[in-house]
Amino acid sequence: MASDLERDQLIDSFLSILRLEKGLSENTIKAYSSDCYTFKSWLLVQRNSVLKKTGEDDIKLYLKKLHGLNLSHTTINRKLSSLKHFFIFLSKKRYIQNNPVINFSGLKNIKSLPKSLSISDVNSLINAPDCSNFIGLRDRAMLELMYATGVRISELINLQYTNIDLNRSLIKVMGKGGKERMIPFGDNALSWISDYIEFRRKNNLSLQSRDFFISQQGTKLTRQAFWHRIKHYLSKTGLSKDVSPHTLRHAFATHLLNNGADLRSVQMLLGHSDLSTTQIYTHIAKQRLSDMVKEHHPRG
């Protein structure tokens, strides 16, 4: 029991460092926690062993077990990465003498291109809400702003009045890892945001609320509720339902690159810490150009 408590305290101490010193998001912390505790339980049940005695053979068998679950390469790599960071922590704490994960490398990811929408499809989706009522006007303003800025849905619904600068057409969002960024938006988004604000003022809709996008009851809009609204508009317009909450974000990045924006600028707008994350959008842009040539060029 004391040994179990010690191991739990080690994992909790590791997670605290990730939270306080690395500034990782709670979702990332939860993933690390799940990965570490799952491995600890497997080690005890399947190998009748403990963290201090973990060897390379244990890691090999654990990875084999993960492969047997038909997990994606991305998921297996994440779990391996969690263990790597955890055992580095244990080494620094001198809890272990040899790091059993140090010689293991991740699987090569087969990157699939994120789905995007054409400009015509985006226009159909954005024009779908009935703006004669509060819900439709709110949804139109949200869709316009999401496509204009490329923000994540979570960043969009967490916007507060103080995060929006109408005079300079800027929004301030809190991204992953607690990183703030300022994003400009165009006249279309500005017009619909202004109409939405005016509607709330005229109808006295929870003007005390600091949240910018609210439900009809005046409460903060949830991520799930807005995604449900997007699916409703996809169905209404006859667009493919095989679309993720990130689709407008993908479209934002792809259309910018297709129209000559540089990769570094798009990286800053999206809030990617690593340029390689943004580079996948160049493949989408090239793919669209290739498809266009094949379809329209006489010698395509």
281 carries an active-site annotation: yes
Q: What is the pLDDT of residues 2-49, one digit of tens each?
A: 445 445 788 999 999 888 877 778 888 999 999 999 999 999 999 888
- In 3D space, the residue among 52, 26, 28, 56 whose CA is nearest the CA of residue 40 turns out to be 52
182 φ/ψ angles, rounded to the nearest 5 degrees: -105, 135
64 φ/ψ angles, rounded to the nearest 5 degrees: -60, -40
* CATH code (residue 13): 1.10.150.130
161 plus 251 within the same structural domain: yes
85 carries an active-site annotation: no
18 plus 125 within the same structural domain: no
pLDDT at 270: 82
Please tell me which residue in 19, 84, 272, 283 is annotated as part of the active site: 272
33 plus 126 within the same structural domain: no
Residues sharing a CB contact under 8 Å with residue 8, sequence separation 6 or more, in sequence order: none
152 carries an active-site annotation: yes
283 carries an active-site annotation: no
pLDDT at 300: 40
Maximum C-alpha span of the chain: 76
59 plus 167 within the same structural domain: no
pLDDT at 7: 56
79 plus 156 within the same structural domain: no
Q: Could you tell me if residue 146 is inside a domain?
A: yes
Question: 3-state DSSP call for residue 247?
Answer: helix
161 carries an active-site annotation: no
Domain boundary, last residue among 92, 110, 127: 92
Q: Could you tell me if residue 220 is inside a domain?
A: yes
DSSP 25-45: -HHHHHHHHHHHHHHHHHHHH
19 carries an active-site annotation: no
Please tell me which residue in 152, 229, 250, 255 is annotated as part of the active site: 152
Q: Could you tell me if residue 25 is inside a domain?
A: yes
Q: Could you tell me if residue 246 is inside a domain?
A: yes
Q: What is the pLDDT of residues 278-300, one digit of tens each?
A: 666 666 565 655 565 555 544 44
The boundaries of the domain holding residue 44 are 2-92
Q: Could you tell me if residue 52 is inside a domain?
A: yes
* CATH code (residue 270): 1.10.443.10
DSSP H or E run through 202:
helix 187-202
77 plus 162 within the same structural domain: no
Please tell me which residue in 176, 181, 220, 288 is annotated as part of the active site: 176
Q: Could you tell me if residue 98 is inside a domain?
A: no
- In 3D space, the residue among 145, 118, 121, 115 whose CA is nearest the CA of residue 237 turns out to be 121
Residues of the chain where predicted confidence (pLDDT) is lower than 70: 1-7, 107-115, 207, 241-242, 273-300
79 plus 125 within the same structural domain: no
204 plus 252 within the same structural domain: yes
Question: 3-state DSSP call for residue 262?
Answer: coil
Phi-psi sector, 218: left (phi>0), alpha (psi -120 to 50), beta: left
Domain tally for the chain?
A: 2
pLDDT at 130: 96
- In 3D space, the residue among 142, 146, 72, 140 whose CA is nearest the CA of residue 110 turns out to be 72
